[in-house]
Amino acid sequence: MNKTSKLYSLVIVISLFLSFSCKSEKKIDKSAGSELKVDSKKVDTGSMAYFKGGKISIGSISGMPNEGPTFEMEIAPFYIDKNLVSVAEFRVFINKTGYKTEAEKFGDSGVFSFETGTWSLIQDVTWEYPMGETKSKVEDSHPVTHVSWNDAKAYASWAGKRLPTEFEWEFAAKNGKNDTPAYSWGENLVVDSQYMANVWQGETTKVDSVLDGYLLTSPVGIFGELESGLTDMGGNVWQWCENMYESYPGSTMKEPSNPKVRSTRGGSFMFDQAGDKSFTTTFRGKNSIDTSLFNTGFRCAK
């Protein structure tokens, strides 16, 4: 198999979700992750929001086809990180464990070029250098990116936590309520001429303007807190979830279940054909567990 077919097995789907399954044919050494030990310090739930759980309606009747039909689910009590995992926090994990992300093992990761208007696998792109080693190093206050689901799981396990399910994520984004607005903060992306999140502006991938102040990622939490204390529950970066991506019960949009494909939530700073819908509390994405991108990160739960 030549290099092109092996390394650039790359699928972009930007309609109902962003899917970038580009490394399915690569062999992965899982040994480093399996040997990680849980951080000995007690989990600081002070940096997490607590939800007592309860019954909530999942999905939307006005969203994309994969968001329906709506159904009720009982959510058990849980904690979820108030903030996305930052570059600084991820660096502590790397320094203490010597863990290597899959992007580092593969030698490349997914980046969108605004110059060429295309996605591609770029060599030497890592969590520290999200646009490549010839570009600037990312600031510590920004969310970590270029982490696969496997990487996010490894970090969460080391921290004594786990990834949230997409249903816990939706419960938290809705502030634990059934009667909720479209977005976690309200009905509109712009309030009093101020953007409420780091989102894409424009109808295409062409950069027309950067009205929210950030072309790429923004510092964690800079757009403010929800009533629950959570930040970035829409926009900035897609967020990995624990569960396998599956069609909702009763859905006519049947998709095959695959344990190597997991749900993502929240949308990102990057263009999505779903437009503003991608930042809602119910919008669903998915990706393969070994995929890493410049607009995907995570937060933990417990």
- 58 lies in some domain: yes
With beta carbons less than 8 A apart as the criterion, state whether 281 and 184 touch: yes
Residue numbers in the chain where pLDDT is lower than 70: 1-35, 39-42
* CATH number reported for the structural domain that contains residue 214 in this entry: 3.90.1580.10
- 186 lies in some domain: yes
- 88 lies in some domain: yes
Q: What CA dihedral angle connects 249, 252, 257 and 262, to 10 degrees?
A: -80
Question: What local confidence, expressed as pLDDT, does residue 183 receive?
Answer: 98
Backbone angles phi, psi at 205, to 5 degrees: -80, -5
Question: What local confidence, expressed as pLDDT, does residue 9 receive?
Answer: 35
- 7 lies in some domain: no
Q: How far apart are CA 287 and CA 241, in angstroms?
A: 10
User: 137: domain range?
Assistant: 41-297
* pLDDT tens-digit map of 111-132: 999 988 999 999 999 999 999 9
Amino acid at 84: L
- 52 lies in some domain: yes
Question: What local confidence, expressed as pLDDT, does residue 18 receive?
Answer: 39
- 31 lies in some domain: no
In angstroms, the Cα distances linking 180 to 9, 47, 172 are 40, 25, 11
Question: What local confidence, expressed as pLDDT, does residue 35 receive?
Answer: 58
Q: pTM for the whole thing? A: 0.89
Tokens of 110: 């997914």
In the chain, the number of structural domains is: 1
In terms of phi and psi (left: phi > 0; alpha: psi -120 to 50; beta: otherwise), the region of 28 is beta
Question: What local confidence, expressed as pLDDT, does residue 128 receive?
Answer: 98
- 2 lies in some domain: no
Q: What CA dihedral angle connects 27, 131, 266 and 87, to 10 degrees?
A: 90
Question: What local confidence, expressed as pLDDT, does residue 41 receive?
Answer: 61
- 69 lies in some domain: yes
Q: Which residues contact 253 (CB under 8 A, 6 or more apart)?
A: 65, 66, 247
Bond preceding residue 69 cis, omega within 30 of 0: yes
CA 259 to chain centre: 18
Question: Nearest-CA neighbor of 174 among 74, 58, 277, 286?
Answer: 58
Q: How far apart are CA 97 and CA 286, in angstroms?
A: 28
